[in-house]
Structure formats: structure tokens, C-alpha cells
Amino acid sequence: MAPPAVDGAEALERIAREIRSCTRCPLHQQRTQAVPGEGPPDAPLLFVGEGPGAEEDQQGRPFVGAAGRLLDRLLGSIRIPRERVFITNTVRCRPPGNREPHPDEVAACLPYLVRQMSVLRPRVVCLLGATATRALLGSDQKLNQVRGRALREGGRWWFATYHPAAALRSASLANALQEDFRRLRRLVDVEWGTDDPARWKPGALHKIFADPQPTEPVVVSEAGTLRVSWEVRGVHPTFRTESALAELLRRFVLRQRRAEAGVVLEVVKLQITDASGRPVPPESPDCTHLHAEVSPVGSGE
């Protein structure tokens, strides 16, 4: 007989109990409380910070100190209630003196986050700071190289920005963080409005573009392969990454060919160029066109 199904809230609480009694790394020796994270089990948006501070260590809740109050204001500024998101950290016990967690401490805690994400299945993950960015996007990822731009990997969106604690110490970082949260809201609106081509929300189309006159891809079918050209000069900087452009292209093609219900499409070739056809990075101001091949890979049913 199969074991009874466990609902999301119960599954998250089981993980939280394990975290509260965890002794996997030396950080547990000095904690007052571990901080598992909090939020609803159906939260579509996940925030991951670095580690608990003094107030979090006392209360056992994430982002309740000065950085948390700034996070609350940022969420309010983009009209996203804290109660609708899940908030946690890369490590769940406070590092001494609020130092940056060591790699072995991050490695000890990461399996808990992986398990929480498997329950939550968030559609967008916002990484707050360099520690969370390295832990979840890879050790070679530099925050300043990826922040403020959407990445698509593993069937979800990733978005990195500064940690609110850093913004408390720097007016310039505070301004950048505010702008990044506006971009995060744009990403959320696009995800909510375009993830299902059968229920495509026209307003989401304009969120993809900075230009008031959006351009859609031109699709030509050749021997079972779809050849696509797309003028992307007006795409908003939030989406100027190769993985984001590929995902948006895939959704545009699905929308245009919505009669073929259940078909799953994959971008198999992608080239990003300037007006003369020379390959350029997607974030380059010279980037104007995207050329791709898209193929059906099976049914989504």
C-alpha cells in the first residue's frame, strides 16, 4: 500500500523540525534558534537570503531585523504581500558576528533548501546577495554580472539582486535594489501572464518590452522545424539574457500556434546578433535580432 499523501504545509513543517534540531555543521553550537523559513506552501515566489542575523536568531523567523523591514518596504512598493511569498536563507543558523557563511556551512544547509523547493515548486526565485547567488546558480556566478536580469533554468525563473542589508549601508545600492525590485515585479507579471498560452494575458506582452511598440517573432515552418526570427531591440533589459529570450521566444511560438494543443516546444538553435548579423551578447546595446530553430519534443499531457 502506498503511503498517505503529505500536503505541502505538513511537508514544510517536517523539514522545519529537522532544521531546528540540525547539527550538520558547527553553526548549531552558538545558535539560539535555527530559522527554517516561512510562507505559504503554494507560494509562487521564493526569496533566499544569506543567513539569520541577531533578531532572526532570537525569534526563529527570517528577515525580521532592519534588513527584513527594508524587504517589507520593497515588497510593498511593488504590491506583493509578504504573506504570499516564502522567505528563507542559504544557512539557517546565525554565523558568528554575522560573517559570510563558509562553503562547508552552505553545503550542509543546501539539502534543506532543495527539499523545500521541491515542495514549494516556486515559479520565480529571487536570490538576495552573493552567497545565495553562488549557492543556487553556481560558484562561478558573480552577483554584479547577473543581478537585475531574469535567468531561466530548471523550469523556473531566477533573479538575483543585492541583499537588503548591503543596501542599508549604501545609498547607491539602495537605489539599485529598488530598481531591481521593479524589474522583479515586471518578471512576475510576465510569468503570471504568459506561462499558459491558452490563457495569455495581452497586458503581459507590454511588460516584456521597453519599447511601446512590441514586435512578435516571425515563424516559418520548414520540414517539421520552425525557423524563427525576432527583432529584440525593444525587449526590456530585465529579459536580456540568452535563457530568458529563449523562453520568451518559445512562449510566443506556442501562443501563435495554439491550435496544436499539448505540443511541447524546445529551442534547439539560438543566435543573437546585431543588425548586420554579427553575434553579440544579449545585454549588448547592439543586440537587435534573435534567430532560432524550434522543434516539437512531445506532448505536455
What residues make up the domain containing 238?
202-299
Cell of 149: 536580469
- Cα atoms in the 13 Å half-sphere on the side-chain side of 293: 8
Q: Can you give the CATH number for the domain in which 73 is found? A: 3.40.470.10
List the pLDDT tens digit at each of the 301 positions of the chain: 455 556 999 999 999 999 999 999 999 999 999 999 999 999 999 999 999 999 999 999 999 999 999 999 999 999 999 999 999 999 999 999 999 999 999 999 999 999 999 999 999 999 999 999 999 999 788 899 999 999 999 999 999 999 999 999 999 999 999 999 999 999 999 999 998 887 888 888 889 999 877 888 999 988 778 999 999 999 999 999 999 999 999 999 888 876 455 677 889 899 999 999 999 999 999 999 999 999 887 654 4
d(C-alpha 189, C-alpha 203), whole Å: 9
Check whether residue 183 and residue 238 sit in a common domain: no
Q: In this structure, are strands 156-161 and 150-153 parallel, antiparallel, or unpaired?
A: antiparallel
| Other C-beta atoms lying within 10 Å of the C-beta of residue 266 | 12
In a domain, 34, yes or no: yes
Burial label for 56, CB within 10 Å (0-12, 13-18, 19+), is buried
d(CA 266, CA 299): 12
Query: What crossing angle do the helices spanning 103-120 and 8-20 adopt, rounded to 10°?
Result: 160
- Are 167 and 230 part of one and the same domain? no
23 and 131 co-located in one domain: yes
Which three cell numbers, joined as nine digits, stand for 15? Answer: 523539514
What is the count of structural domains for the chain?
2
* Structural domain includes residue 211: yes
Measured in Å, how far apart are the chain's first and last C-alpha atoms?
Answer: 27
123 and 16 within one domain = yes
